[in-house]
Structure 1
């Protein structure tokens, strides 16, 4: 079977730590099942610079518009790897052109935006994928196999505790969406929701639940600096100009309820230091015949 031809959106020549360059690119360039045939960035020069920076074939097409990329007959699948706030504007033209699309999670900034894109995909009859990769991680896959084997019997309860790390009182302007509840690019929508997807894929969906979202550290100094400068600013907060931003995204998330299989579940992602034993994540599952902990 011929490899799937990828049109990759958002492979910046400068953001070498971004997900497009650290996750998508290494896999796509080493897998015999895929080949990158086109890039789309905000400008054609930027796309060409990325082609050169990552040593992609000279035949790789460069675009500054997803609509134009989607007209390329050498593109089978459009992969969108940009900030969440841009997902809808970039996914929609590809769907409209009848291209298959893989978009990073979350699909949109809210459920309404995601529903609109899902409706468009259904209307066009195209294949679509959302990158909920946590469910495929080796520990989660091993845990599913263990539970399916009946090793701990029937699951009675499960508890998850995790930390987001120390409270944020300084931040970068380029990533201020992390502080905004409505951005879709915050800890609730990304880190917590990625885990909840893996959790439900392992133990089943919630039958009933209650939740608490709280923002403790609401006042954040936001600096127009690069990530590499954050350490120096943390040591001397007054060394650079800043603006005060009011954080609305939660830094405490509590979700508890019952699962469809009857088990009781509690998930708490908090802000603060690691546990006294040094761990920052613990997932315990109790069954009629034993306990497993990750």
Structure 2
């Protein structure tokens, strides 16, 4: 494909660990619209090793040097959440289009600042809520928009993920609320965005946020540390269309059964399930209109935008997001979810925490 957009990715370990090697790099190597031309890590040695490991020509160990390259159109921030700000801000100031993993910022203040700068620079931004690009969720939205479900009455959602108090010390930062990398921000943010995408945003929310496992053990050091971040969340809400939302989000010790979202309308029902996080594991859809038996709903092939060579699992929806982002850049069209969408999602998470802290319903609109 002529005139491919050129992309520099920040965050890639040569040993294959992390989200960059797991999702972004395999997708970028296969899609036609974007060429991965540069990798950036924190040290010269690791940058060179990553570039060699993944077949990328250029290696940088300084974000400012990467974003200064005039031929790079897009910068992707695929680093730990506390480091998003220090990658995104220089990229925006350099006038680059930016893809940043979710959550955008470690706090609402950081998110507001990045969203404001992106708006001022008038660039295309993408936030890594890639579930919106999953063909199954896109199909649910299409059916909803077409009236297949009729008036939406209620949405019931659960995510029960098997967890353990044993963690590697490199993941210790996930226990600290201020670092923004915990159950409610990551899994809660992703899954609540499915609701916003398919059925509309929340008008009000009531929640209970708790931490049931108080201590975590670092498996490589044996150290016991305090757990600050929530591991169980209950959410009740009302969507702007009047439909009710009920959501249980839990990190359970054993036998977590993954994700389930059921939507009930005046004309039909759809139930979506996945063994893990839907943005990285296959979704099964069943549905019916009226009182007909539930049957599996096949997903239209037209909704699959990436070539068959893109590996299954995490690269699929990340690749879908990149294809749509490239189209938005080349055609001068808006893209979603953008940093503005990330800001709204972060405000919702703060409202959920506020509701729990204050024991009251929080109005969002």
For the criterion TM > 0.5, the same-fold answer is: yes
CA shift for structure 1 position 127: 2.6
Structure 1 CA distance for aligned equivalents of residues 111 and 230 of structure 2: 21
- Residue 208 of structure 1 corresponds to which residue in structure 2? 204
Aligned counterpart, 2:14: 13
- 1:288 maps to 266
Matched, 1:37 2:37: yes
Other structure's SS at 2:29 match: helix
SS at match of 2:269: strand
**Residues of 1 paired with 2:53 and 2:100: CA distance?**
23
Tell me how far apart the structure 2 counterparts of residues 136 and 220 of structure 1 sit (CA, whole Å).
34
1:174 aligns with 2:170: yes
Distance in structure 1 (CA, Å) of the matches to 2:182 and 2:172: 9
Equivalent residue, structure 2, for 1:128? 125
Q: Number of matched residues?
A: 270
Higher relative contact order (CA 8 A, sep 6+): 2
Tell me the equivalent position of 1:3.
Answer: 4
Counterpart secondary structure, 1:37: strand
What is the distance in 2 between the residues matched to 1:83 and 1:105?
Answer: 10
Among 52, 61, 64, the residue aligned to 2:58: 61
Check the 8 A contact 1:37/1:74 in 2, yes or no: no
How far did residue 115 of structure 1 move? 0.7
Match for residue 138 of structure 1 among 135, 140, 152: 135
Instruction: Look up the match of 1:233.
Output: none
CA 1:148–1:161 in structure 2 vs 1: closer, same or farther (change >3 Å)?
Answer: same
The alignment partner of 2:8 has SS state of: strand
Aligned to 2:178, what secondary structure does the other structure show?
A: helix
Q: Residues 244-278 of structure 1: CA distance to partner in whole angstroms, max 9, x if unpaired?
A: 11111111011111100110111111232447xxx
List runs of 5+ in structure 2 lacking aligned partners: 273-365
C-alpha separation in 2, matches of 1:118 and 1:292:
34
Where in structure 2 are the equivalents of 1:1-294 lying within 5 Å? Answer: 1-14=2-15, 16-56=16-56, 60-166=57-163, 168-223=164-219, 225=220, 241-272=221-252, 273-274=254-255, 279-294=257-272
1:287, 1:172 → 2: CA distance? Answer: 44
In our comparison, the structure showing a higher alpha carbon Rg is 1
Distance in 2 (alpha carbons) for counterparts of 1:155 and 1:44: 54
Provide the residue aligned with 1:229 in structure 2: none
1:210-246 per-position Cα deviation (integer Å, ceiling 9, x unaligned): 11110000111123x3xxxxxxxxxxxxxxx421111
With normalisation by structure 1, the TM-score equals: 0.87
Once residues 146 and 120 of structure 1 are traced to their aligned partners in structure 2, the CA distance between those partners, rounded to angstroms, is 35
SS of match in other structure, 1:87: helix
Cα offset, 1:149, TM superposition: 3.0
Report deviation, 1:123. Answer: 3.1
Per mean C-alpha deviation after superposition, the further-off stretch among 141-150 and 155-164 is 141-150
- Shift in Å, 1:152: 2.7
Report the alpha carbon displacement of residue 289 of structure 1 after superposing the two structures with TM. Answer: 2.1
Deviates most, 187-196 or 157-166? 157-166
Deviations 1:138-185 (A, max 9, x none): 22112112222322321111111220214x221111011221222111
Rounded to whole Å, the distance in 1 between the matches of 2:70 and 2:80 is: 26
TM-score (norm 2): 0.71
Measured after TM superposition, the shift of residue 91 of structure 1 is 1.1
